[in-house]
Chains A and B, each alone.
Chain A
Amino acid sequence: MTSSSPASPTADASTSPYLRLRGVHKSYGDTPVLQSIDADIARGEFVTLLGPSGCGKSTLLRAIAGLTPMDAGDIEVAGETITHLPPQRRDIGMVFQHYALFPNMSVADNVAFGLKMRRVDAAERRERVEQALALVELDTHALKSPHQLSGGQRQRVALARALITRPRILLMDEPLSALDAKIRQHLREQLREIQRQLQLTTLFVTHDQEEAMMLSDRIFLMGEGHILQHGDAESLYTRPNSEAVVNFVGAYNRFDAEQASRLLGRDIEGQCFALRPEALYLVSEKSAPALPANPGPGCRGTIAARQLLGSIVRYRIECEGLSMNVDTLNRGVRSLMTRGSDVVVHADIDEARLL
């Protein structure tokens, strides 16, 4: 599952997809939100729907859950068509962005709710609640009220509540975006660990590409109601297939054919070239990195701006009429180049993407 495909993400899943979407279409008035979405997802796969706000990713998730009616299309889970089933009978678990815990119930009662609705007897309910809370490391908080918990703890309760009924599919609608960075990082790892442990087919919605890349077996990049590209993190990041994808993924430098020719030192044909900032190399008095196998002749320029992004330093380079971002590893204060410094920019031609 490492290939990247431009259109229908049906080819990558195993031969018998567990979740199958066909022609899923939804409009609000005259505005189409989902346009004939086809997708196959394998059992136990962790798929992320990635895209900017309003691209239709949450609507697709809600359509699968049965919370938003579709205008057309079919949804199958394990060979069973669930298109017209109410949410109660879809056997799907969902975690919401703002937890959606029931405020009038304790943590244990929240988690037990799904079992209570399924008329599971009290003894078994208690046992399974204990197991679910232990899974999310909240077994000592069972009697607390949701308002006594932190955001991260609330989301773990929501996860336990969604998992306790052993759903066929787990849907997560931006579950980490209301949390602060440190908790988000910890929860990401915990989430992925639990998903692997339970072999649970999971659809995760986010607009954060770093989150998508860390978590997913496959990423579906969405835009304007379509799946623009899908594939694993590496293929999506290094081999974007359109300008729309380049605009969202990474911090690509884009050049037209004439600009690309100047930078690469040879004639280039095509409409648009994209080059990741880390596929450009800066040579200066302070820095002489090992160049790629095919570095081109280089292009003389000066540093126009510098941004420290933690372990990465992003330089804005003005170079023979071109302007581009170059990322280098932050190796310490002495290796930092200052504004106005003269540099030569080399490009890794093999990493250039023709769009």
Chain B
Amino acid sequence: MRRRFRPPLALWWLLPFALVFGAFQLAPLGYVALGAFRVDGGWGLDHFREIATSAFYRQAILRSLEIALVSSLLGIVIAAFACYGLTRTGGRVRRVLIAFTNMTSNFAGVPLAFAFIILLGANGTLTLALERLGLVDTFNLYSRTGLMIIYTWFQVPLGILLLLPAFAGLRREWREAASLLGAGRFDYWRHIGLPALWPSLVGTLSILLANAIGTYATVFALVGNNYNLLTIRIANLVSGDLFLQPDLASALSLITVALLTLMTLIQQRLMRGRPHAGKR
């Protein structure tokens, strides 16, 4: 007699999560995927053709990729050095710094943009101080460079939170064993430290890239429509008064999803080359 499948009790606890995930993640994604191919009551690739032929939309994609790449790379490098410093710091200082990082990683969106306007805006405290000291001629927060700075700023604490466990997992004995075998500091990082951190670095980089590509509130609060990015274009197409085109927005969203999927695939490909990494 065949026994009826009875899911273990623990599986029922996943039910609310599955419902929320289905309602707020899968359903909208399905809706966006359908909308991207919907053209005047029929189906087609017209929206993608329009995006491909429009210099405006191509620029939005490239600028989103550029700002995501630069801010993620800068963010991960700064976060890596910060994590190294944190793992070499004593208990109390470390706890305070981690608490501060936790707080700053949640300080994003409009409040962050406002903080930057006060500090580095045209009449920002820091801008005026730097100009008076003759350290900068003019600084424009609402430019490409300004956006890079604010993006990097919110990437760093997230990078620290994601990388810190990996840095804490680097065992002192590895460094000591390497030094007794003749390895200097550079040799240690080249042959042991960085390869051991590699899976975490690649994973963190892909999350930072996704974080940057998906950022909307901060950049909108700072530059409004004056900087051409994917998220700003999507928002304009679904909430603009004149150019309401939700299906074109869906096509742009699907391109964003494709970019993030591509990054995840690249991340997995990079991890595959390191069969021993991460297993202790």
Contact = CB atoms under 8 A, between A and B. Distances in A.
Contacts, number: 81
Contacts of A67: 176, 179-180
A114 interface: yes
Interface in A78-97: 86-88, 90, 92-94, 96
B195 interface: yes
Interface stretch (A22-30, A99-107, A229-237): A99-107
Given A96-B173, A103-B279, A103-B280, A88 B182 contact: yes
B278 interface: yes
Contacts of A238: none
Interface in B181-219: 181-184, 187, 191-192, 195-196, 198
Contact of A96 (B177, B179, B280): B177
Interface string B153-188: 000000000000000000101101111111110010
B276 A105 contact: yes
A100 B276 contact: no
B275 interface: yes
A88 B173 CA distance: 14
B238 interface: no
B266 to A, nearest CB: 20
Given A98-B173, A147-B280, A104 B180 contact: no
A166 to B, nearest CB: 12
Question: Which of B171, B195, B280 lies at the interface centre, i.e. has the most chain A CB atoms within 10 A of its CB?
Answer: B280
A88 B278 contact: no
Nearest to A171: B180
A100 B173 contact: yes
Given A103-B196, A145-B275, A145-B279, A161 B181 contact: yes
A165 B171 CA distance: 22
Interface residues of A, number: 30
Given A100-B173, A102-B174, A104-B195, A147 B180 contact: no
Contact of A88 (B179, B192, B275, B276): B179
B179 A103 contact: no
A92 B195 contact: no
Per CB-CB distance, the 10 closest pairs between chain A and chain B, nearest first, are A100-B173, A117-B182, A114-B181, A104-B195, A147-B279, A87-B179, A100-B177, A145-B276, A103-B280, A96-B173
Interface of B: 171, 173-174, 176-184, 187, 191-192, 195-196, 198, 274-280
20 contacts: A66-B180, A86-B179, A87-B179, A88-B179, A88-B182, A92-B180, A94-B180, A96-B173, A102-B191, A104-B192, A104-B195, A104-B196, A104-B274, A113-B183, A117-B181, A117-B187, A145-B276, A146-B280, A147-B280, A165-B182
